[in-house]
Structure 1
């Protein structure tokens, strides 16, 4: 009897069963192997949890409170990765290395982690921590007991916290001597109190209230006042789970803390050296006076007006901590000082309520050379770039930053069909000058809290796509950067000019451009000029928050007024030129939003949404080539190589030439990215990601059929995903991503999802679909 050979589906099912068995065996042996290394009588501490024994706590508060209480438990159990204690496993299998170096030593002490045993846990100490935390938030007279569960040498501790009803604030009084000035000031601060009747008792809120009063007094001249001079008395014996609070000034508060101080002389030391030691305390006779400020700058390294304008204090002003911080912020923000510190000194040994202020400024190295060497790879494309920059941090003695940069790079193709558009090299020069202030013909000053900057830039670049064409590019920009707050920044270029001139177009490319008119756009002269603006908001620096955000929005305008004045209308045959180049007339906007959510220790979910839209009119029907959007690559749709997807449902292979794949660009861009990030060991992290997006054209094009944006755009979204490793080397993050397409928009409608075609065993499939990206830094 002839046996039937198994079908492909049966083979795949058998393979999946084998994989599941291998994973189960790995999990079993990895988890068991950690236990077998324990000595007799030792138990691995695997979990500590807190249980609240109080039915009066609402369910919506119970889980967050339990999580906060569990955070104080020490020590923490051994870390897990995908449910496995891999670091503990590495520690155990490394044994006892004979040397303090080598692989086993690294595996045990760097990649590994010693077992956390039950005997390492100080249970009474943890009980006290939980009880104190509960009392600090109003659960007085709480008590904590502990249950221990041991099963197969794995120990769990359950801390049972029994609490009474939470205590709330009944009333708040301010016991102050209002015949004194400081008593009046504190009394005036009462309406903004953080201690509000009806709210739960909270120790952190009491501390915050003392600091609030101190901040208000500091801004009114009380230089020597401290939060410790405020006493908040709490009476919890009034019954009904209520407390009375009394705010008062401590009797032992020193005299100098009770009186305001004014600013006397202000001394500025622009050449202060930490190595050579302090200057002797200067007097007005030792210094050079400028507009009421005294400079000790014997070598005249800085122009006085540049430093005087950063001062928020003047002689006779009442001391104010906010002005003090603003002055320090201005000096640091100039970018030319390595260290900035100040010193307030009593005048006449405290016989008067006056303070001399001394600002000690240590300059950074004035001249520096920086060399950067970068490498990149995406799919079969590899490249490198070198940047050399020279900078002078005090070019004209006003803290101006002069930077000259030379750069060069190349990209080559190492496999696949030859793409002449990817084999190129480029080099360029750029000069920029930045002033730490606004330079404008009118008195515009957007902020004094942070240092605004004025920047002018001139640049030239030469691009040589060897088998296609060469381009000369010139750029000039003049604009401003300023920070509205710690979270908000603005960038406004009043004039941003770009001019691109093609040279030496190859006959081969010329013939392609004749056949496919779109390609002509890459070698047309391009001329754009106009203002650009970008706004950025971020709170990602607040690392203690579970949710952080990043938002940027930009606007790019070109020749809007010029085109209107000249009456340009390319659709009616009237296209105007400047310098023999038809100028581009458009409105372009870009929006990017990122959301980062912590999922626990060393785990994060990151999401990004990108939207870009360019509207061309008057002298143009499409955005200029250098301003158009593209998708794909290491920081975009990682399952598709850079500039090789879109527009819309258009298939790049329709160009019908195996040795040429053009750069796909468009006027509209939409992209969504989701990435899960988690630490493995030490410097090594891993990530799983999904990318969705595409580009489209504003107007229909006979060459790019299916490229115009329409109401059915969602049917033309490309989808890809994959896994990646991140090597956090402190000074940089090296990122590798391996991705495959899930949905290909240029396939026939109904066949665009390609999950059923995934076949890692097929070398042809792997060659056509596996995309490897190597990059520096996170994609977003």
Structure 2
């Protein structure tokens, strides 16, 4: 019955729309329903003909009223609300669209556009006619184009003199975009002029422009349908466009004021090497600009150094606006004075943030962070940040107060815009390299379970090779975790299950960490984009070798036993655009950690976890694995059970997600996730290797690991407002690795109508941002 009503409504709407669209079309005029271009020349290959027709049709003006499935809802809205003065109809009126009338179409103009575009693509004998099709009060135009033969390039010659400019233009010929045998194309010719101009800008021709180049076309060489191209410099080119310019004086205004812009004026300028710094308040050390400027006095002007200097000044993060201009000094020579006007951000600022979140482990929480920033702490554009936070996560399902988390902490970080090292390191990218020093303290109280205090510090470097590639090297990262106030309930769990004991072990790690990130996802025009993040983490390796650390002979540093391991994690992502609004996203994560010498297992904070809002969404965070192991307490109805923290030394995860755009800022999602974590060694008690109590059988990584993957699927909605993405996902398991082999696929058990199935299997995730 409902389907019948819907069908009747759609039919009625279609009927009303089709009858109503010409309501406001004047007498002796018609509703313009569009036009198309048809290539009549059969000598043009089918593929080229279709491309040409689509390109030429896109030129036609005006565009007809927008339509959906042959209906014109915006025109229909206009017609029923045209005379509305107030009420709901007036509000709806803004969505309407007046009729596009046939009388507004300039047919001759469109024919000329078609012919001109064909000529630009080498069809020099093109012609165009038009036919009008009238049906009732509607009119449609068909433009017939006769292309004639397409002219091809017979030869390309650079006809220049022996001047500096002539030689420079001729030197670009080997990489010309104009190739013998290609079809004539005006767009390629324009691109060729811009290419030559770009090359000349690297050689000091500051005032040269593409308009100074002339490409003459000769079709009278005697060869049928062929043209010869001659590249020359226009005779009317200004003399200054022929000169090679060098850099004269460089003026930098770090506290720019409009009064300082007088040409040739540099009051209170301080000369530092090749620069004049006009900084009345002595806000910045001149050395800051030595590291950002690529120009030096006497250098030949080139656009690369020009852009690099501006980019590095902007990437300092200290200046809100960066402007530049070049002027010719009164020397009578081809020289340029360079002026840089820099408007700094406020030096000090305070920022407060309140965040809220929920996750698949039923935790709902919030966090308050207060940060103080100094953008020029020691007059070298250093960024000093001191922040403190306090937060809580509460588990509302049942009586789970034992799982509630309270935490607070503080961190001080100093970012210095240069490499601090015993030897000189030069950076030639557009981004300023940074040295980063951090010091932090964190306190975590898992109520009725345990508390953890952690101290951390690090020294390292961050530098971008390009907009796509970034490196982070922590030369030394130190992390010390001290547990305290462990409850009797948790001690009992830790005594029986080794994985719980790991969370309350003292953890002392120190060593280097290297991270490499590559992404071209910022290139939204690309169909295929990629993301890669690789992390390599070492701890205690050199010291462990020196001290001879081993399982039976563990060593200490400053009275504390330290961890010794090698750990790496690789994150690959692939994105493919589907049409103009939809996307297919994929991710693979590989993680591996190997503890040895002074450690039998990775410290808890370095182990791998799986499940949750950004991982396998059909499984609650940290409840999956390792391997085929399943903590039976997770299936118990006792809500007082302390939540599991299952982890592993090896991680494998796959994710794929289809993201269609539904309407406005709303996107949908259909996804499948798969993965698991495993232990590198058998899970045994070091003090009592023969004991089986608390062992996690099936947790070790074996050659049958593919049979132990968990699989989940689901659907979701994303509210993508650009600055904020709100994500809602509903997922359910397809494969449960802890079940007996042969029974792990649970697709046949899916029953959305069953309340008990929904309770045991449906997982709701609310999060901010995309999962990957």
Tell me the TM-score normalised to structure 1 length: 0.87
- Secondary structure at the aligned position of 1:765 is classed as helix
2:487 is aligned to 506
Q: 2:659 aligns with which of 666, 677, 684?
A: 677
Q: 2:426 aligns with which of 437, 442, 445?
A: 445
1:277-676 aligned within 5 A = 277-283=259-265, 286-348=268-330, 351-379=332-360, 380-415=362-397, 418=400, 420-421=402-403, 423-570=404-551, 573-653=552-632, 658=638, 659-676=641-658
- Secondary structure at the aligned position of 1:746 is classed as coil
Shift of 1:139: 4.7
Query: Which range moves more in the overlay, 653-662 or 638-647?
Result: 653-662
Work out the number of aligned pairs and report it. Answer: 751
Query: Which range moves more in the overlay, 643-652 or 220-229?
Result: 643-652
C-alpha contact 1:44 1:115 (8 A) present in aligned 2:
no
Shift of 1:353: 1.6
Query: Which range moves more in the overlay, 720-729 or 264-273?
Result: 720-729
Shift of 1:106: 6.9
C-alpha contact 1:142 1:163 (8 A) present in aligned 2:
yes
Q: CA, structure 1 residues 444+215, in 2 after alignment: closer, same or farther (shift >3 Å)?
A: same
C-alpha contact 1:557 1:586 (8 A) present in aligned 2:
yes
Q: Distance between the aligned counterparts of 2:72 and 2:365, measured in 1?
A: 36
CA RMSD of aligned residues (A): 3.6
Q: 1:188 aligns with which of 157, 163, 171?
A: 171
C-alpha contact 1:605 1:675 (8 A) present in aligned 2:
yes
**Does residue 1:259 correspond to 2:251, yes or no?**
no
Q: Distance between the aligned counterparts of 2:700 and 2:135, measured in 1?
A: 64
1:659-738 aligned within 5 A = 659-701=641-683, 703-738=695-730
Shift of 1:581: 3.8
Q: Distance between the aligned counterparts of 1:156 and 1:765, measured in 2?
A: 58
Q: 1:746 aligns with which of 733, 738, 741?
A: 738
Q: 1:268 aligns with which of 252, 257, 268?
A: 252
Q: Distance between the aligned counterparts of 1:482 and 1:441, measured in 2?
A: 17
Q: CA, structure 1 residues 316+553, in 2 after alignment: closer, same or farther (shift >3 Å)?
A: same
Shift of 1:101: 9.3
Q: Deviations over 1:620-654 (max 9, x none)?
A: 23221111121222222222222222222222335
- Secondary structure at the aligned position of 1:622 is classed as coil
Shift of 1:775: 1.8
**Does residue 1:169 correspond to 2:153, yes or no?**
yes
1:214 is aligned to 197
Q: Distance between the aligned counterparts of 1:351 and 1:433, measured in 2?
A: 48
Q: Deviations over 1:63-105 (max 9, x none)?
A: 777766666667487486xx89898699689968968898x77
Q: CA, structure 1 residues 93+324, in 2 after alignment: closer, same or farther (shift >3 Å)?
A: same
Q: Distance between the aligned counterparts of 1:195 and 1:393, measured in 2?
A: 50
1:201 is aligned to 184
Shift of 1:59: 7.1
Q: Distance between the aligned counterparts of 2:8 and 2:750, measured in 1?
A: 26
Q: CA, structure 1 residues 176+442, in 2 after alignment: closer, same or farther (shift >3 Å)?
A: same
C-alpha contact 1:480 1:491 (8 A) present in aligned 2:
yes
Shift of 1:730: 3.6
Query: Which range moves more in the overlay, 647-656 or 141-150?
Result: 141-150
Q: Deviations over 1:104-151 (max 9, x none)?
A: 777765xx6758868699584666666655544445545567788999
Query: Which range moves more in the overlay, 138-147 or 206-215?
Result: 138-147
C-alpha contact 2:457 2:477 (8 A) present in aligned 1:
yes
Q: CA, structure 1 residues 621+139, in 2 after alignment: closer, same or farther (shift >3 Å)?
A: farther
C-alpha contact 1:148 1:157 (8 A) present in aligned 2:
yes
Tell me the TM-score normalised to structure 2 length: 0.88
Q: Distance between the aligned counterparts of 2:266 and 2:319, measured in 1?
A: 24
Q: Distance between the aligned counterparts of 1:609 and 1:234, measured in 2?
A: 54
Query: Which range moves more in the overlay, 434-443 or 708-717?
Result: 708-717
C-alpha contact 1:651 1:746 (8 A) present in aligned 2:
yes
- Secondary structure at the aligned position of 2:308 is classed as helix
C-alpha contact 2:452 2:481 (8 A) present in aligned 1:
yes
Q: CA, structure 1 residues 135+371, in 2 after alignment: closer, same or farther (shift >3 Å)?
A: farther
Query: Which range moves more in the overlay, 653-662 or 90-99?
Result: 90-99
C-alpha contact 2:266 2:278 (8 A) present in aligned 1:
no
Q: Distance between the aligned counterparts of 1:506 and 1:332, measured in 2?
A: 53
Q: Distance between the aligned counterparts of 2:599 and 2:511, measured in 1?
A: 15
Q: Distance between the aligned counterparts of 1:622 and 1:217, measured in 2?
A: 61
- Secondary structure at the aligned position of 1:427 is classed as strand
- Secondary structure at the aligned position of 2:424 is classed as coil
The answer for unaligned runs of 5 or more in structure 1 is 1-17
Query: Which range moves more in the overlay, 53-62 or 477-486?
Result: 53-62
C-alpha contact 2:65 2:97 (8 A) present in aligned 1:
no
2:692 is aligned to none
Shift of 1:513: 0.7
C-alpha contact 1:550 1:594 (8 A) present in aligned 2:
yes
Q: Distance between the aligned counterparts of 1:463 and 1:133, measured in 2?
A: 69
2:691 is aligned to none
Q: CA, structure 1 residues 641+201, in 2 after alignment: closer, same or farther (shift >3 Å)?
A: farther
Q: Distance between the aligned counterparts of 2:32 and 2:730, measured in 1?
A: 37
Q: Distance between the aligned counterparts of 1:669 and 1:120, measured in 2?
A: 68
C-alpha contact 1:652 1:661 (8 A) present in aligned 2:
no
Q: Distance between the aligned counterparts of 2:65 and 2:426, measured in 1?
A: 55
Query: Which range moves more in the overlay, 354-363 or 144-153?
Result: 144-153
- Secondary structure at the aligned position of 2:193 is classed as helix
- Secondary structure at the aligned position of 1:495 is classed as strand
Shift of 1:752: 2.7
1:12 is aligned to none
2:216 is aligned to 233
C-alpha contact 1:455 1:479 (8 A) present in aligned 2:
yes
The answer for unaligned runs of 5 or more in structure 2 is 685-694
C-alpha contact 2:323 2:340 (8 A) present in aligned 1:
yes
Q: Distance between the aligned counterparts of 1:131 and 1:278, measured in 2?
A: 54
C-alpha contact 2:21 2:76 (8 A) present in aligned 1:
no
C-alpha contact 1:218 1:225 (8 A) present in aligned 2:
yes
- Secondary structure at the aligned position of 1:347 is classed as coil
Q: Deviations over 1:677-724 (max 9, x none)?
A: 233333322222222222222223263222222222222222222222
Q: CA, structure 1 residues 97+456, in 2 after alignment: closer, same or farther (shift >3 Å)?
A: farther
Q: Distance between the aligned counterparts of 1:84 and 1:701, measured in 2?
A: 66
- Secondary structure at the aligned position of 1:222 is classed as coil
Q: Distance between the aligned counterparts of 2:516 and 2:9, measured in 1?
A: 50
- Secondary structure at the aligned position of 1:315 is classed as coil
Shift of 1:507: 0.7
1:148-159 aligned within 5 A = none
- Secondary structure at the aligned position of 2:544 is classed as helix
Q: Deviations over 1:432-453 (max 9, x none)?
A: 0001111111112243432111
Q: Distance between the aligned counterparts of 1:524 and 1:156, measured in 2?
A: 79
C-alpha contact 1:603 1:679 (8 A) present in aligned 2:
yes
Shift of 1:153: 10
Q: 2:763 aligns with which of 744, 748, 771?
A: 771
Shift of 1:561: 1.4
